[in-house]
Amino acid sequence: MVRYSRNAGKFGGYLKEIFNYVCKVYVILAVLFLPLAIYCIVISCITKDKEAFIMGGSAAAIAVLSIVVILQRYLVIKKALKMSFKNVDLQGNLNYTLEVIDETLIITCLNTGEVNKIRKNDIKKFAYAKNSIFIRVGVTGLVTLQNDKEVRDFLKNNNMIANKK
pLDDT value at position 152?
84
Averaged confidence pLDDT in the chain: 86
Name the amino acid, one letter, at 19: F
Percent share of the chain, pLDDT over 70: 98
d(CA 84, CA 61): 34
Query: In the predicted model, is pLDDT for residue 161 greater than 80?
Result: no
pLDDT value at position 162?
55
Angle between helices 50-84 and 11-47 in degrees, nearest 10: 170
Query: In the predicted model, is pLDDT for residue 118 greater than 70?
Result: yes
pLDDT value at position 145?
84
Q: What is the pLDDT of residues 11-41, one digit of tens each?
A: 888 888 889 888 999 999 999 999 999 999 8
150: pLDDT confidence band, cut at 50, 70 and 90?
confident
Sheet with 123-128: list strands edge to edge. Answer: 123-128, 132-137, 141-146
Q: Model-level pTM?
A: 0.75
H helices of 85-95, in order, are: none
- Give 145's contacts (C-beta < 8 A, 6+ positions apart): 4, 96, 98, 107, 132, 133, 135, 151
> What is the rounded end-to-end Cα distance, in angstroms, of the chain?
24
Average pLDDT, integer, range 84-104: 84
Q: What is the pLDDT of residues 119-140, one digit of tens each?
A: 888 888 888 888 888 888 877 7
- Cβ atoms within 10 Å, residue 46: 9
Least confident of 76-85, 101-110, 156-165: 156-165
